[in-house]
Structure 1
């Protein structure tokens, strides 16, 4: 299954919405890479096992299940999470791109690729449920980034 959608970060028409900068948005995405626990319900620990300038390899512990993933990124542009398949997890990828069609109008584009089929009977119904869950998780990601920004951690 391939799935993508946009989440609006800054609603320029709403003066009451706190606007995030690209740097604040990027910092929040890096927080998700460094320690995904606040972003992924059920995640007990996130251990970085390798690090290079534009890449991390992590072990994500969900109870007895451990998922290894590779995080790659281009600063202020995009971040990609690629999980390895194992007995507990089918593997897949998520890329999050920062888009700014006009100054201050920030969006996050979430692009998923999984081994789940897109079409056909019960699998199609399941795919719809997964897409809905991904969308809600992505909205929650933006909420968490806003909380990080508002906490004063960003200078």
Structure 2
């Protein structure tokens, strides 16, 4: 399954949105990499098992399921999460890119690549649509949590 969409962070036409700058959004994405628990309901633990300047390897504990992923950082531009395939987890990737399509407009582009089939007529098609809706909601929540982090004053 390939799934891509954008979530608006700043839109000058919407005065109700508190404007965030690129640094605040990037900091929020780093928070998601370091400890994904506030971003992923049901995540019980997020342990960094390897670290370099541009990558993290994490173990994510969801109940009895343990998922290992690699996080690749492109500072101020994008972050990529690649989960390993196991007997109980199909693996896949998520890339989140910070984009500015117009002056004053800031969006996050979410790109998912999974092994989930989504061909028309496939019995898994309905499930793929459900997963897409869940990903979309999770991505809206990601922006909500990033806003909460920025508004908490943690970013100086």
Question: Given the two structures, how large is their TM-score scaled by the length of structure 2?
Answer: 0.97
Equivalenced residues, count: 155
Q: Deviations over 1:54-102 (max 9, x none)?
A: 0000000111111000000110000000000112211000000000022
TM-score by length of 1: 0.97
RMSD: 0.9
Where 1:127 maps in the other structure, the secondary structure is helix
Distance, in Å, in 2 between the alignment partners of 1:129 and 1:64 is 23
Distance 1:16 1:112 in 2: 29
SS at match of 1:9: strand
Asked if the contact 1:98–1:106 (Cα under 8 Å) also holds between the matched residues in 2, the reply is yes
Which residues of structure 1 form unaligned runs of 5+?
Answer: none
Gaps of 5+ in 2: none
Whether 1:126 aligns to 2:116 is no
Conserved 8 A contact 2:11-2:104: no
Contact 1:71–1:79 under 8 Å retained in 2: yes
Cα distance in 2 for residues equivalent to 1:115 and 1:137: 19
